[in-house]
Amino acid sequence: MEIRVKCGCGEDECSEWTIVELQGVVETQSSFQGSVQNLEIGRLCHSDSSQENYTFTVGYHELVGSKVTLKKPLLVLKKIQKCTDDSSVKETELEVVGIIRSKILFKTRPKPLISGTN
Amino acid sequence: MEFDIPLPEELELLEANSYYPEEEDDYLNFEEAPYPYDEEKEEEERVAQKELHVQQPDSPEINGIKRPRSLMSDPIVNLDEVSPASEKRSKIGDNRVEMEDEDWLRPSPVKEVVHAVEEEEEVIPPETIFSRYASEIDGECFPITAPDGGERVYAKFCRALGDEEVKKLDVKAKSNGLIKDPISVLLQQSEKEAFNKALQTSSEDQNETITAETPVMHEKLWVDKYSPSSFTELLSDEQTNREVLLWLKQWDASVFGSEIRSTTDEVLSALKRHSTTSHRQKSDSAFTRKNQFSRWSKGSSTYPKNSDVSNSNPTDNHDMWNKKSKLTGSPEQKILLLCGAPGLGKTTLAHVAAKHCGYRVVEINASDERSAAAIETKILDVVQMNSVTADSRPKCLVIDEIDGALGDGKGAVDVILKMVLAERKHATGKENINNGKTSSKKERRTAPLSRPVICICNDLYAPALRPLRQIAKVHIFVQPTVSRVVNRLKYICNMEGMKTRSVGLSALAEYTECDIRSCLNTLQFLNKKNETLNVIDIGSQVVGRKDMSKSLFDIWKEIFNKRKMKRERSNDASGSEAKKFDFLHTLVSSRGDYDLIFDGIHENILRLHYHDPMMDKTVSCLDCLGASDLLHRYIMRTQQMPLYVYFSSLVIPIHRRVAQIQRPTIEWPKSYHRCRTLMVEKQESLRSWYHKIPPYIGRHLSIKSFVEDSASPLLHILSPPTLRPVASHLLSERQKDQLAGLVMLMCSYSVTYKNAKPNPALSDLREDAASEATVLALDPHLFDFISFKGRQLKHHILTLAMKQVLVHEVEMQKILQASGGRSGILNNPEEVKKTNQELARKTIAASNECHRNPVTSKSPSVPVEKNATTSEAKSSDVKKASRTALNFFDRFRKSRKDYEDPEDVQKRATAKRDSRPLLFKFNEGFTNAVKRPVRMREFLL
């Protein structure tokens, strides 16, 4: 069986992606009935350029994490199914969307934020 | 009348001395009489004259001068004829006479009379110099007022006779009181001393030239002059001497090498074999060995070579030593520790024995520097250096008074310990690795002990010596027998040409507890002064003694233990009593830790088994302890340290009351410390509770008065017997009120029940709760403050269920109060209007009332009833107080709350929620939970 992996872009232009790894679950408030559409997940800030420090604010939690280079880079693939003439046989192609060389890892316990407004 | 005769004599003397200026005045202007007092005197004298005329025919046989004076002092005679003013005067005179009587005349009145008569006679004859003016008489003079006409003359004082008199008295005075001499004799002696001193100072001017001329003589101390130079002359216990020598001999193998091993073995075996009976033989053999040695060290060349080898190459030496240790058994303990009372000859023994074995003694004394570094270099010197002088014998270190200085002496002990331990390690290492070079390197660093070290101490159980005691060979010196000491003293006295009797010498030896050094010093001192030994009281003569303090346990033992005195009782009981007296006094005062000594007495005194059916011994002993306490407190407060002197005398009555022959078991005083910590703990808990009480109640309580007065009534209030542990809706109205009152009270006094560990002391107090694993106890342990050992508390104790109800209610009440809720359990609107002032007054009154109740009434049920009612009143008061206090702050809170609209609040809350649509939920634990296997197929299809 043959799987074709196609890369549309050149070597330099291949867009780089990043994994945000959280230890936990991001949940919606009960009033939104589980739909994540058009909702702001949080804010990811790169605080200091010299130290690979990232803060990620979700709800009233603030997470502090760091950038970690992956040992094995990952590809982000997009599965494309082409319908040939014969309907029974589907041709599957994987298109490279991006490459992942590093991830931002938030492994510490989140800090609760106390809002100063009231 | 026997007593009366001397009294006027005294009065007369006193008058003559003390009223001298007045009388002179009186004498000059007789008519004017400036003071009423003088007038009385005049009158008195006039009366005396009259009396003289009247009485003389009646008693012609009595001396004419003396008789009327005796009448003068007699109040009965005087009262008849003398005016009231003079009556007073005579009373004064009487008082004085009594005083005089007490300290001067009681013990030997007859003697006094004789004395007085003699003096009188001495004055009366006109041959003695006798003038109206004191300036005409040279030397001491003595004013005399004539009975007729008040004429005053001065008589010369003939001293020789008087002195003799005093001496005679001194000899005669020997009573069996506590003190050696009766008080009168002591007073006389002190007078005499003062007199002699005055005489000396007056005569010193003349003598000064003479004393300056006498050459300063340097005499060798007898102690040094006659110190034993050879082993046979030693005075100390033979067994000890022998063992010390044996120990030193065991060093021979390592110090002198193998050449003399044969002789060493010989001597060793001889020492081991021979008993004390064959002492001479043994010492002979030792002498031959010594001679041999000295000959050998002078003549032969082998020994210096050998010592060179041993010094330059210590490993060689140690190899040899190790070999030897297997063969002959070198000393297991590297250090000899000699201990014993001063003057028993420890230092002498160490020196003599070391000399005898061919060592040169290097002594480190208390006067030398004894820091760790200094001592280490010194020991290294001793061990490694070879002296360049002709005296090339190996050295032996003697550390004298190692227990003396604690800080520095300890340094010495540490160094020695280190060396000994290094030696041991080295020895074991040697056996394992048979490599000479490495070990020699190691050895140079640690410097093991290769020469004998003798340590000398007085107190074996000094804390600094504890580590040394474990590794050293300890010899305790015992006192030599008195006869032995006396023999030696006699010999020395004969050599010095001093005449002594063996009775005196034995008394001296006994007094100094066979301290031969102080004996000799005393003898030499006396010899120098050309005095003879006073047999009867040696203590009066100068006996120099080394300062020494015994351990605390010894002191307590001395206090509680009566020595058996068989010999002394036959001699004279009084002397031994006095000696005991002195002994205890010096013992205690030389120790100095008075408060600790008294603590120990206090701790142990009630455990003694003394016969005391009426408890008066106990009471008087405790009185003594109380006095010591007061004294201590006073000293501490005023910082008058000289008063510490009197502590040691307080011990003596205790000893005399309770001392027993059988040995007491003495414990270190702990109770004081325990009580102190307990008290601090309780005070702390009480204080923290006190700060928790709201100030409007707390200000009416002081901690002290609370514990003393109101703790017990408060507990009665807190546990009323009428409360039933049932559900709250089953209670009657009255019971509900009561419960509410109790809860309010507990709240306002911030008392609550808490889970506590089952306390054995408390469990018997709360019988019903004792079975539970955990007990609900009052939070500040109020029961602790009023519970005494062995006393059953009469307080009613609530059941566990009731306590639980109370805990619940109190918690609820607290929450209600904190939230400022108006809905208390109780609501008495009529009381709200009362002012705070009234309320405080009422609280105090209520507490007073409930305090008074249990004290005055005898039946237990009545006060409890009353307490319940008062508690109700009180608690309602308190509750009202708390409410009014809360209202003040409530006002602000309320006004702020009113400002907010509830709907507005609601809206804001939803807005807040909407601003954060997503929430993060942190998963505890692992990080790789998100990974899961994916099949290739899933990519494709």
Bridge pairing between strands B775-778 and B753-756:
antiparallel
Report, as an integer, the average pLDDT of B157-162.
55
Partner residues linked to A106 by β-bridges:
A22
Query: Which of chain B's residues have a Cβ under 8 Å away from the Cβ of A40?
Result: 917-918
**The pLDDT of residue A71:** 92
- Residue with the two structure tokens 């032969």: B300
Bridge pairing between strands B395-399 and B453-457:
parallel
CB contact under 8 A, B918 and A23: no
Best CA proximity match to B608, nearest among B653, B559, B555: B559
Separation CA B217–CA B592 (nearest Å): 39
Separation CA B939–CA B853 (nearest Å): 94
**The pLDDT of residue B637:** 92
Query: Which of chain A's residues have a Cβ under 8 Å away from the Cβ of B916?
Result: 29, 59-60
State which of A88-92, B315-319, B457-461, B748-752 shows the largest mean pLDDT.
Answer: B748-752
Res B69 pLDDT > 70:
no
Amino acid letter for position B562: K
Token duo for residue A60: 């009233």
Separation CA B917–CA A55 (nearest Å): 18
DSSP of B549-568: ---HHHHHHHHHBPPP-HHH
Instruction: State yes or no: ipTM above 0.95.
Output: no
**Reduced DSSP (H G I as helix, E B as strand, rest coil) percent helix, strand, coil of chain B, to 5:** 65, 5, 30
Amino acid letter for position B722: T
Best CA proximity match to A64, nearest among A53, A72, A74: A53
Separation CA B928–CA A105 (nearest Å): 12
b (16+ CB within 10 A) / e for B330-350: bbeebbbbbbbbbbbbbbbbb
Query: Which sequence spans correspond to the domains of chain A?
Result: 4-23+42-112
Q: Where are the alpha helices (DSSP H) in B765-828?
A: 782-786, 800-819
Report, as an integer, the average pLDDT of B106-126.
46
Separation CA B732–CA A114 (nearest Å): 50
Query: Which of chain B's residues have a Cβ under 8 Å away from the Cβ of A61?
Result: 919-920, 922
Q: Is B139 left (phi over 0), alpha (psi -120 to 50) or beta?
A: left
State which of B62-66, B165-169, B178-182, B638-642 shows the largest mean pLDDT.
Answer: B638-642
Q: Is B189 helix (H, G, I), strand (E, B) or coil?
A: helix
Separation CA B263–CA B285 (nearest Å): 10
Q: Which fold has domain B332-431+442-478?
A: Rossmann fold (3.40.50)
CB contact under 8 A, A32 and B917: yes
CB contact under 8 A, A29 and B912: no
CB contact under 8 A, B921 and A24: yes
Kindly state the helix (H) or strand (E) to which residue B635 belongs, with its residue range. Answer: helix B616-638
> In this structure, are residues B850 and B866 in contact, taking their beta carbons and an 8 Å threshold?
yes
For chain B, what percent of residues have pLDDT higher than 70?
49
- Give the pLDDT band of residue B54 (cuts 50, 70, 90): very low
Separation CA A64–CA A109 (nearest Å): 8
Measured from the Cβ of residue B926, the count of other Cβ atoms closer than 10 Å reads 8
Question: Going by C-beta distance under 8 Å and a sequence separation of 6 or more, which residues neighbour residue B925?
Answer: none
Q: From the CA of A23, how many Å to the nearest CA of chain B?
A: 6
Q: Is B244 helix (H, G, I), strand (E, B) or coil?
A: helix
Q: Locate CATH 1.10.8 in chain B.
A: 482-541
Q: Is B730 helix (H, G, I), strand (E, B) or coil?
A: helix
For residue B486, what are the CA distances in angstroms to B21, B235, B568, B688?
60, 11, 18, 71
Bridge pairing between strands B395-399 and B360-364:
parallel
Report, as an integer, the average pLDDT of B321-330.
43
Q: CA-nearest residue of chain B to A109? A: B922
The residues in A 68-107 lying below 8 A from B, measured between CB atoms, are: 77, 79, 92, 94, 107
DSSP assignment letter at B104: I
- Residue with the two structure tokens 């994490």: A65
Q: Is B399 helix (H, G, I), strand (E, B) or coil?
A: strand
Q: Is B202 helix (H, G, I), strand (E, B) or coil?
A: helix
**Residue range B265-309, pLDDT digits in tens:** 555 555 555 444 444 444 444 444 444 444 444 433 333 334 333
> In this structure, are residues B767 and B797 in contact, taking their beta carbons and an 8 Å threshold?
yes
Separation CA B843–CA B700 (nearest Å): 9
Q: Locate CATH 1.20.272 in chain B.
A: 552-669
Measured from the Cβ of residue B669, the count of other Cβ atoms closer than 10 Å reads 20
Q: Is B338 helix (H, G, I), strand (E, B) or coil?
A: strand
Separation CA A5–CA B49 (nearest Å): 158
- What order of strands is seen across the sheet that includes strand B152-156? B130-131, B152-156, B141-145
Best CA proximity match to B454, nearest among B325, B326, B365: B365
CB contact under 8 A, B922 and A21: no
> In this structure, are residues B143 and B17 in contact, taking their beta carbons and an 8 Å threshold?
yes
Token duo for residue B279: 């002492």
**The pLDDT of residue A111:** 86
Of residues B679 and A87, the one with the higher pLDDT is B679
* CA–CA–CA angle B73, B79, B84 (5° rounding): 110
For residue B731, what are the CA distances in angstroms to B448, B740, B803?
88, 11, 16
b (16+ CB within 10 A) / e for B476-513: ebebbebebbbebbbebbeeeebebeeebbbbbbbbbe
Q: Where are the alpha helices (DSSP H) in B477-615?
A: 482-496, 502-511, 516-528, 552-560, 566-571, 573-591, 594-604
Query: Out of B177-181, B328-332, B705-709, B787-791, which region has the weakest mean confidence (pLDDT)?
Result: B328-332
Q: Is B523 helix (H, G, I), strand (E, B) or coil?
A: helix
DSSP assignment letter at B404: T
B920 closest CB neighbour out of A79, A107, A110: A110
Stretches where chain A sits below pLDDT 50 are 118
| CATH number for the domain formed by residue range(s) B482-541 | 1.10.8
CB pairs A-B closer than 8 Å: 70
What would be the CATH architecture of the domain defined by B552-669?
Up-down Bundle (1.20)
Q: Is A33 left (phi over 0), alpha (psi -120 to 50) or beta?
A: left
**The pLDDT of residue B532:** 67
- Predicted TM-score (pTM) of the model is 0.38
Look at chain A and count its residues: 118
Best CA proximity match to B424, nearest among B396, B446, B402, B398: B446
**Residue range B429-464, pLDDT digits in tens:** 544 444 444 334 433 444 566 778 888 887 777 777
Separation CA B529–CA B543 (nearest Å): 14
Res B898 pLDDT > 50:
no
CB contact under 8 A, B918 and A1: no
Mean pLDDT of chain B: 65
> In this structure, are residues B731 and B825 in contact, taking their beta carbons and an 8 Å threshold?
no
Separation CA B777–CA B859 (nearest Å): 27
Res B643 pLDDT > 80:
yes
State which of B374-388, B498-512, B687-701, B745-759 shows the largest mean pLDDT.
Answer: B687-701
Angle subtended by helix axes B406-432 and B314-327, to nearest 10: 80
Report, as an integer, the average pLDDT of B89-110.
46
Bridge pairing between strands B152-156 and B395-399:
unpaired
Q: Which of A1, A20, A22, A37 has the most B C-beta neighbours within 10 Å, making it the best mutation to test the interface with B? A: A22
**The pLDDT of residue B874:** 43
**Residue range B271-280, pLDDT digits in tens:** 555 444 444 4
Token duo for residue B45: 């004298």
Report, as an integer, the average pLDDT of B373-398.
69
A60 closest CB neighbour out of B916, B939, B941: B916
Separation CA B450–CA B322 (nearest Å): 12
Report, as an integer, the average pLDDT of B16-21.
47
Best CA proximity match to B86, nearest among B75, B95, B98: B75
Separation CA B854–CA B846 (nearest Å): 13
> In this structure, are residues B659 and B557 in contact, taking their beta carbons and an 8 Å threshold?
no
> In this structure, are residues B644 and B594 in contact, taking their beta carbons and an 8 Å threshold?
yes
